[in-house]
Amino acid sequence: MQDDREDVFSKAVRAGKRTYFFDVKSTRGRDLYLTITESKKHTHEDGTAHYDKHKIFLYKEDFDKFMDGLREAFDEIDRLRSTGEYMREETAPPVDKSDRSGFTDVNFEDLGRKDV
C-alpha cells in the first residue's frame, strides 16, 4: 500500500538555543494538519550535543479554537506589558564603557608564536 501522506509546508524559526518547526502535512485522506516542534540544543562538556524535542499535533477541527486561544494570550501579553506590570527588570547595572579598569588588556600579537 502506497503512503499518500506528504509534507506540504515547513518553516523553521531559530530563537537562541531553541528552534521551532511549523510543519503543514497532509493525511492519506488529503486533510491538512499542523505539527509544531520545539527543539532545544544541549551541549555536553565534551562538546557533543543532543536535542530535546517536544511536538504538538494540531488537527483541522481545532485550528480556529487554537488561533483564538493564541490570539487571546498574545493580546493579554500586550495588555500586561502596556501597563508596565510585567516589564523586564534590569538584572545588572549599566556598564560605563569609558571605565576600562575592570577589563584586562588583551594582546593578540603573540598568537601562533612558539616561544611564548
Q: Does a structural domain hold residue 97?
A: no
Q: What is the pLDDT of residue 61?
A: 96
Q: What are phi and psi of 81, to 5 degrees?
A: -65, -40
Cα-to-chain-centroid distance, residue 111:
36
Boundaries of domain holding 32: 6-83
Residues of the chain with pLDDT below 70 are: 1-5, 88-116
Q: Is residue 1 part of a domain?
A: no
The DSSP code for 97 is T
Q: Which three cell numbers, joined as nine digits, stand for 19?
A: 528552534
Are 41 and 51 in contact by the 8 Å Cβ rule? The answer is: yes
Q: Is residue 50 part of a domain?
A: yes
- pLDDT score, position 85: 80
pTM of the model: 0.63
- Tell me the CA distances in angstroms from 85 to 30, 38, 89, 90, 93, one per residue in order: 46, 28, 10, 14, 20
At 55 the pLDDT is 97
- How far, rounded to the nearest angstrom, does the alpha carbon of residue 47 sit from its chain's CA centroid? 21
Q: How many domains does the chain contain in total? A: 1
